[in-house]
Structure 1
Amino acid sequence: MKANAKKWAVAALPLCLAAIAALSGCSKDSGQESAAGASANGDKFDKLPKEVSISMFDRGQVSSDEGTYEENRWVKWIREQSGINLKVVPVPRNQAQDKLNVLIASNQAPDLIWEYDRNYIGNLVTQGVIQPIDEYIEKYSTSYKKYLQENPELKPYLTFDGKMYAVTTKRAVSAVANHGMWIRQDWLDKLNLKMPTTIDELIAVAQAFKDRDPDGNNKADTVPIIGYTTGDVYNAMHGVTWVDWYLENDKMKYGPTMDRYGDSLATEKKIYELGLADKEYFTDKDNSRAKQLWTTGKAGICLCQWGGNTSTMVKDLLLNDPSAKAVPLEPVSTKYGKYGLYQETPANIYVTFNKNMKNPKAAVAYLDWLVDKGWFALSNGQEGVHYKLVSGIPQKTDADKFKKEVAYAAEYAVLKPLVEKPEDLPIKAAQDALSQQIVKLEVESLKTALKNKFRRDIPYQPNIIEINELKASFQKTIDEIRAKTVTQSNYPAEKALDDIRKEWKRLGGDNAEKLAQEWYEKNKAGFK
């Protein structure tokens, strides 16, 4: 899951949205009339302004002198180059779905609504918020239609109830990998410790980091384990997540009700009670404390991402202490075997069409432009200013300039047919010594992150309203029980798992499992 917001988190449209959607009905003058319904005098959409609005994740990356997410050099460039008058509707990344739900309920949602989370898209389908787009793509698209023909494996991810409700492009290899673990190799060397390969060895190393003064300041002030994906990492190493369904003897079981989840809680609880994890990580919502501990050299193991924000943290650590040696740590085995940390599905961003969209033809034209050429500049900047081509690969010429003027622009490239290899990363990065040092660590981390397969028994999750609503209401229960068992000594993980199962059953879990099983039997022939 993406840092600061778990990409497979359960979508949670407010229940009132269903009533609002039902009352509002289908707008007769909206774009969801058949694309085949053009008048004899030409396509009805040709008479409409070429205007499209789109949601955007606000990650706080636009500096004040660049403008805002709504208005900046790149939004202006998009309008000029695409011929589409684009309006951007930012939503805070960490509250994206909540904000989108409010916009939808108040009939203020943009034409194009997108998310990484297929479950959320499924909720929008169920609620009648978005519309099928098969006819629009068939009639109006050239570039994206060709792309989908060349990548047919994406079609099942875009299809709900036999109709296509979204467009997407394949994730690049650097976007398939997500979570990653890092460890201070220099601390291991100083304490004469081996790289841990099992969960027990990981705990033993963390204990040594706590007790044996690895930073050499004669103070008991080190924090062995920090990270903003802590619970997810423990879960993944036990072959389970708190949002997904799994197959046990060909029967669908919800992750948090499985023995594996209870054992993951027990592991997290043990590490916490031994004082090996930062005591404040449950309340460190913006990860500021984790970053502070890592970059100031007070932490030894980071449960984070393979790159991204973690690369910035490693860079800041090296700026503070050039002798530090942070290296990728491969996931360790548990009694269930060895699994990779969270990895994404092939489908990247899901871009959908609001049912009240005025001009779907303009929306398709915009998406075609992105796939054809727009994505490249939005991802890399301006040739000769932000990059130069080396063996056909864009190489950053100034890391700081790129970070300020281009990094945020990638947010607009919601369709990006990028094909890359790990070895491309050093060519793409800035060539100064520090940037190259960081990117070489990134390549190693990427390979480490992809070395072990993340457990995903089915390619995507059931889109059934009863299940979606149950999972949404159940999420708070899971969060509360997890925090309680980890932080309270008198609440063992065995009791926590028992309470999770009882609450699941009370809320209708038996029926959810029945529906999930029926869905699986109906769809499994199409799973690869």
Structure 2
Amino acid sequence: MNMSVKKWTLAALPVCLAAAVVVSGCSKGTDSSGAAGGPSPADGRQEDKYDKLPKDVSISMFDRGQVSSDEGTYEENRWVKWIREQSGIQLKVVPVPRNQAQDKLNVLIASNQAPDLIWEYDRNYIGNLVTQGVIQPIDEYIDKYSTSYKKYLQENPELKPYITFDGKMYAVTTKRTISTVANHGIWIRKDWLDKLGLKAPTTMEEFIAVAQAFKDRDPDGNGKADTVPIIGYTTGDGYAAMFGVDWVDWYLEDGKMKYGPTLDRYGDALAAEKTIYDLGLADKEYFTDKDNSRAKQLWTTGKAGICLCQWGGTTTTMNRDLLANNPNAEPVPLEPVATKYGKYGLYQETPAYIYVTFNKNMKNPKAAVQYLDWLMDKGWFTLSNGNEGVHYKLMNGIPQKTDADKFKKEVQYANEYAVLRPMTEKPEDLLIKAAQDPLSQKLAKLESDSLKIATKNKFRRDIPYQPNIIEINELKASFQKTIDEIRAKSVTQGKNYSAEKAIEDIRKEWKRLGGDKAEQQAQEWYEKNKANFK
């Protein structure tokens, strides 16, 4: 569908409305998709061209492998059927593998098979779709067809900059709750600390010293030197965050935009990670543990002492399995440690949650807005919590799970469909929401504690969102492989490749690939947009 024709058609509607009083011809035209407008209703209002179209809407969905065979598939299950019945929208779900989501979406887009609603957590990816002309502005659709989301955006204007590109709104989003702002976390075996007479570390030096004790002093008491002090699937991100840097973001250094991996802080994070690896304090296989299976095995079997992972979520499942294997284990959240740059939190998300966009070839944007408004009104709550009396009961207005296993099987995957959710929460709510059996309550208390710790210190983010410049995005995408290779080489090759040499090579390659121009573009973008950051 030609976007300029669409925009002209929408812009022409007020003219047609005015002309309808005098001339009836405007109401009989054909829209850009070939649908006839038809005569005006008896009350004189212009008939909406989209009302003649079926209420069919397709949407992308992250396939996380959570739908059991007896529940169905991501495309067809009890909840997709429920959505169709309750919303009046004939929803079609297009699943994409979570760990290959953008690649899969790109293939669908290139082959003109992309769904009507395309969503991602990554604003940069949405920016790429804007630049490529894949998605369309939605200001007029929201203004004309929405009630609930329009009201929500008016009440939460701080979200507007995140969904605005080149002065137009290209997505809808809701605010993250505290549990979705928090992301990464650190866990430590308190029972190991107690046995060895150690205190929880507060600095990077103490962190390394505790890990060394976990390696040398047999904390699990089996008489064997078989413990792995540090494991984790967010290892590199964790070290970098504690040094106040991230490998994908831009930072302001004396008012100048600089790319994170080129900074001294990133070099120091590499040096710390390398020291830990050289001392044998980290699992030797974490660079190749792509599915985190080894990290999970080491933690749940009680062989690891510190986990750089998440504040909850997957880690809660790991802790559940650990406690099932050893009820005396005491995994507790650990506050990120200080470095010479100060104390920062681990990775935390920006306030905007999921970015839901409109494919430029969408046939019925009115139906899409109606579906999203339905989600905002009531759909999100049931998709997130299940059915009252079956999966939860209300306690002080908060849904409390009645059966953790039943919820996991029948409801957990449905949360994926709630792409908009105007929810608020406190860490303490996690205990009310959890099932009331002793183990579920213990895990919920750990989740609540870890959530507070995960949000206690701010993750360093000098600008709220990143530049949406196609050349920069392409450079960062191609440069990522270089960073990964240099980091792995430096960490694992001992004296043969120092952290100092690694950061030197990163800077050289950045410059060779056009980093100077990217920094100039980023600076210009910052000067143009900084007024929106307040």
Global fold match (TM > 0.5):
yes
Q: Are residue 513 (structure 1) and residue 489 (structure 2) matched?
A: no
Distance 1:210 1:474, change over 3 A: same
Partner of 1:337: 342
Q: C-alpha distance in 2, partners of 1:35/1:111?
A: 22
User: Which of these residues, 444, 465, 485, is aligned with residue 460 of structure 1?
Assistant: 465
2:487 partner letter: R
The amino acid that maps onto 2:507 is R
RMSD: 1.3
Structure 1 residues 194-220: Cα deviation after superposition (integer angstroms, max 9, x where no partner): 100000100000010011110011111
Confirm or deny: 8 A CA contact 1:29 1:358 kept in the other structure.
no
| CA distance 1:32–1:402, change in 2 (3 Å) | farther
Q: Which residue of 1 aligns with 2:105?
A: 100
Q: Counterpart of 1:507 in structure 2: which amino acid?
A: L
| Residue 448 of structure 2 is aligned to residue 449 of structure 1 | no
Residue of structure 2 aligned with 1:271, choices 261, 272, 276: 276
Contact 1:197/1:332, CA 8 A, preserved across alignment = yes
Which residue of structure 1 aligns with residue 169 of structure 2?
Answer: 164
Whole-Å separation in 2 of the counterparts to 1:291 and 1:163: 44
Which of 477, 488, 504 aligns to 2:510? It is 504
Partner-residue secondary structure (3-state), 1:64? coil
2-structure distance, mates of 1:285, 1:35: 50
Query: Counterpart of 1:509 in structure 2: which amino acid?
Result: G
CA 282–31 in structure 1, closer or farther in 2 if over 3 Å, else same: farther
CA distance in 1, matches of 2:280, 2:109: 45
Question: How far apart are 1:35 and its partner, in Å?
Answer: 6.9
Aligned to 2:21: none
Amino acid corresponding to residue 152 of structure 1 in structure 2: P
Equivalent-residue separation in structure 2 for 1:327 and 1:221 (angstroms): 22
Partners of 1:98 and 1:467 in 2: CA distance: 18
The 5 A counterparts of 1:366-381 are 366-381=371-386
Asked if 2 retains the 8 angstrom alpha-carbon contact of 1:57 and 1:96, the reply is yes
Select which of 298, 304, 325 maps to 2:309: 304
Does 1:485 pair with 2:455? Answer: no
Cα drift, residue 109 of structure 1: 0.5
The correspondence of residues 129-208 of structure 1 with structure 2, limited to 5 A, is 129-208=134-213
| Pairing of 1:352-363 with structure 2 (within 5 A) | 352-363=357-368
Corresponding residue SS for 1:310: helix
Q: Which amino acid aligns with 1:210?
A: K
Deviation at 1:466, TM superposition (A): 1.2
- 1:31 and 1:355 in contact (8 A); partners too: no
Match status 1:34 vs 2:10: yes
1:262 aligns with 2:267: yes
Counterpart check, 1:495 vs 2:501: yes
Measure how far apart 1:423 and its partner are.
Answer: 1.1
Greater Cα offset, 89-98 or 25-34: 25-34
8 Å CA contact retained: 2:208, 2:276: yes
**4+ residue runs over 2 A deviation:** 25-41
Q: Which structure exhibits the higher relative contact order, with contacts defined as CA atoms closer than 8 Å and separated by 6 or more residues?
A: 1
Partner of 2:23: none
Distance in 2 (CA, whole Å) between partners of 1:279 and 1:250 is 39
Check whether the contact 2:184–2:347 (CA below 8 A) recurs between aligned residues: yes
Q: Aligned partners of 1:135 and 1:248: how far apart in 2? A: 39
Secondary structure of 1:342's partner?
A: coil
Q: Which is greater in Rg?
A: 2
What TM-score results when the alignment is normalised by the length of structure 2?
0.93
User: What amino acid sits opposite 1:304 in the alignment?
Assistant: C
- How many residue pairs align between the two structures? 504
One-letter identity of the residue aligned with 1:505: K
Partner of 1:239: 244
Q: Is residue 392 from structure 1 mapped to residue 397 from structure 2 by the alignment? A: yes
CA offsets, 1:261-306, max 9 Å, x none? 0111111111111110001001111100000000000000000000
Distance 2:8 2:506 in 1: 42
- The alignment's TM-score, normalised by the length of structure 1, stands at 0.94
Name structure 2 gaps, 5 residues minimum: 17-25, 28-39, 41-46
For 1:229 and 1:216, locate their aligned partners in 2 and report how far apart those are by CA, in whole Å: 28
Task: Name the SS for the 2:419 alignment partner.
Answer: coil
CA contact (8 A) 1:213 1:219 kept: yes
Instruction: State whether structure 2 residue 396 is matched by structure 1 residue 420.
Output: no
Residue 10 of structure 2 aligns to a residue whose secondary structure is coil
Deviation at 1:34, TM superposition (A): 2.4
Shift of 1:33: 5.0
Q: What secondary structure, in the 3-state scheme, does the structure 2 residue paired with 1:451 have?
A: coil
State the partner residue of 2:476.
Answer: 471
Distance change >3 Å, CA 27–CA 518, structure 1 → 2: closer
Q: Which amino acid aligns with 1:34?
A: L
